[in-house]
């Protein structure tokens, strides 16, 4: 295994424990990565158990081919295709879904992917390198307003407009085509820095999230997960930044409460439809030991909910 293939799954035992795996159950790993969580699930499944693992990254799917377990089905697709893929496979319901969000270490550490300012490489950032627009291609045609909106919304960057103008001015002399070019532009445009953080961190995060439609994919798949879970089935989601976690937290909260009706509507609380989810425990974070061993785990949050009997 080379450096680009190295990946340490965050909250590994906590996430797999949270699924409360049944030996003969059917489970979904929405983000195979390099298979850490998937392998742990397979270890707990019996001969009749089954796991379907999704990933947009062709290299992740290629790595999964080496698992060599007939109980594992790999799908080269974003997890937002969960409903269609389960239908294609003839699966009506599952016992658990795990979503490990964000970007994997192999994607960050492979310079050719263009996701990190640590390397000077083509400005790509796509999780699925077989399709879609690269960041460089988008920056070449986007307006200052569009760039500002993306960096502000997905990166929560207060210097978004200054960065967007710097990009627009620079591309007048040629395309902003590499990570090094972009990082240098951002570094000049960001007037103050957060301690210990490169000034381009928020911009790179924003552009990656945007080009891969990460938040939209998450918002689409969460309702599908609930509709596909059997009663008693678990949904476990690991988030790595506040934008992801906010979506997950609000979704699980709303699905675990009865619907809100107009105040004067003559409906008794006992007659309200039962919620489809029940929260399981509190949000979990990595231990100090895990963060010390894997600093990229420091921002991770695991939230878990269980499907109720409600239709």
Asked if residue 196 and residue 142 are part of one domain, the reply reads yes
Q: Decide if pLDDT at 109 tops 80.
A: yes
- Tell whether residue 100 is among the known ligand binding residues: yes
DSSP three-state, residue 3: helix
pLDDT band, residue 4 (cuts 50/70/90): very low
- Taking the whole predicted model, whether its pTM rises above 0.85 is answered as yes
pLDDT band, residue 2 (cuts 50/70/90): very low
User: Which alpha helices (H) appear in the chain, and where do they start and end?
Assistant: 12-18, 36-44, 58-64, 82-88, 105-109, 135-141, 144-155, 160-171, 179-189, 201-211, 214-228, 242-255, 288-293
In Å, how far from its chain's centre is CA 10? 13
Give the burial string for 82-109 (b: 16+ CB within 10 Å, else e): beebbeeeeeeebbbbbbbbbbbbbbbb
Asked if residue 281 and residue 252 are part of one domain, the reply reads yes
Q: Which residue has the tokens 């891969």?
A: 212
Query: What pLDDT score was predicted for residue 270?
Result: 61
Q: Does residue 123 fall inside a structural domain?
A: no
- Tell whether residue 79 is among the known ligand binding residues: yes
pLDDT band, residue 258 (cuts 50/70/90): confident
Q: Which residue has the tokens 């439609």?
A: 213
Q: How much is the average pLDDT of 241-260? A: 93
Q: How far apart are the first and last CA of the chain?
A: 46
Higher confidence at residue 138 or residue 262? 138
- Tell whether residue 36 is among the known ligand binding residues: yes
Q: How much is the average pLDDT of 235-242? A: 96
Phi, psi of 296 (to 5 degrees): -70, -10
- Tell whether residue 30 is among the known ligand binding residues: no
Q: Which domain holds residue 151?
A: 129-211
Asked if residue 194 and residue 218 are part of one domain, the reply reads no
Q: What percent of the chain has pLDDT over 90?
A: 82
Q: Decide if pLDDT at 1 tops 50.
A: no
Query: What pLDDT score was predicted for residue 196?
Result: 82
β partners of residue 94: 229
Query: What pLDDT score was predicted for residue 7?
Result: 65
DSSP three-state, residue 274: coil
Asked whether 50 and 27 are in contact (CB, 8 A), the reply is yes
Asked if residue 162 and residue 37 are part of one domain, the reply reads no
β partners of residue 302: 238, 284
How many structural domains compose the chain? 2
Residue 24 is encoded by which pair of tokens? 């003969």
The closest of 228, 214, 215 to 277, measured between CA atoms, is: 228
Q: Decide if pLDDT at 197 tops 50.
A: yes
pLDDT band, residue 311 (cuts 50/70/90): confident
Residue 67 is encoded by which pair of tokens? 């698992």
Q: Does residue 111 fall inside a structural domain?
A: no
DSSP three-state, residue 97: strand
Asked whether 267 and 255 are in contact (CB, 8 A), the reply is no
- Tell whether residue 5 is among the known ligand binding residues: no
Q: Which of 184, 211, 238 is the last residue of a domain?
A: 211
Q: Decide if pLDDT at 6 tops 70.
A: no
Return the DSSP state at 103.
-
In Å, how far from its chain's centre is CA 269? 36
Range with lowest mean pLDDT among 4-8, 54-58, 154-158: 4-8
DSSP three-state, residue 304: strand
Higher confidence at residue 263 or residue 78? 78
Q: Does residue 37 fall inside a structural domain?
A: yes
Q: Does residue 122 fall inside a structural domain?
A: no
């Amino acid at each position: 295994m080379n450096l680009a293939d190295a990946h340490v799954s965050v909250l590994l035992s906590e996430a797999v424990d949270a699924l409360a795996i049944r030996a003969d159950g059917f489970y979904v790993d929405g983000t195979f990565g390099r298979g850490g969580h998937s392998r742990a699930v397979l270890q707990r499944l019996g001969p009749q158990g089954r796991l379907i693992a999704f990933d947009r990254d062709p290299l992740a799917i290629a790595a999964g081919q080496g698992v060599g377990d007939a109980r594992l089905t790999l799908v080269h697709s974003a997890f937002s295709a969960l409903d269609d893929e389960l239908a294609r496979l003839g699966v009506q319901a599952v016992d658990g879904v795990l979503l490990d969000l964000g970007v994997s270490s192999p994607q960050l550490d492979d310079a050719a992917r263009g996701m990190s300012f640590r390397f000077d490489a083509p400005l790509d950032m796509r999780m699925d390198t077989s399709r879609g627009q690269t960041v460089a291609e988008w920056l070449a045609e986007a307006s200052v307003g569009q760039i500002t909106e993306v960096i502000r919304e997905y990166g929560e960057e207060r210097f978004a407009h200054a960065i967007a103008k710097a990009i627009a001015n620079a591309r007048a002399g040629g395309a902003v085509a590499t990570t090094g070019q972009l990082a240098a532009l951002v570094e000049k445009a960001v007037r103050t820095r957060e301690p210990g953080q490169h000034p381009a961190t928020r911009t790179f995060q924003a552009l990656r999230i945007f080009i891969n439609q990460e938040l939209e994919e998450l918002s689409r798949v969460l309702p599908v997960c609930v509709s596909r879970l059997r009663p008693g089935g678990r949904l476990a989601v690991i988030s790595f930044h506040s934008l992801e976690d906010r979506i997950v937290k609000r979704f699980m909260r709303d699905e675990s409460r009865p619907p809100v009706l107009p105040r004067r509507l003559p409906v008794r609380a006992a007659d309200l439809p039962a919620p489809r989810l029940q929260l399981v425990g509190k949000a979990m974070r990595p231990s100090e030991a895990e963060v010390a061993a894997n600093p990229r785990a420091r921002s991770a949050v695991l939230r878990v909910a269980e499907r109720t009997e409600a239709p």
